[in-house]
Amino acid sequence: QVQLVESGGGLVQAGGSLRLSCVASGRTFSNYNMAWFRQAAGKEREYVAAIHRNGVITYYADSVKGRFTVSRANAKNTVYLQMNSLKPEDTAVYYCAARNSDDSPYEYWGQGTQVTVSS
């Protein structure tokens, strides 16, 4: 089992920045590919960004490319999501997720952290 705990959400004005953190425990963090998802009220959960276990390969949804940066610190069992130039449409609950393969569904999820961007 892997336990994931997100933090760093909050209320920010449009154009501002936030950094989300997700701390993992329970298994060897460096074995897991990590991702961030988000779910806005009344909408389905959507993929935001991912980072390979090697810490080098990253992926981004088109909607956040150039504004968000995903990174990880394996020594701290932590994955980050740096969010810049935030827009009201980025408002959502943000979740981190983990999987120990390159193509299986994400099997471990955090409880989420709320991000609200005011216009």
Per-residue model confidence (pLDDT) at position 59 = 96
Per-residue model confidence (pLDDT) at position 1 = 87
CA distance 78 to 92: 21
Characterize the bridge pairing of strands 3-7 and 18-25: antiparallel
Dihedral, CA atoms, 19, 15, 69, 27, nearest 10 degrees?
30
pLDDT in tens, 64-77: 999 999 999 999 99
Per-residue model confidence (pLDDT) at position 27 = 83
Those residues of the chain that have pLDDT short of 70 are: none
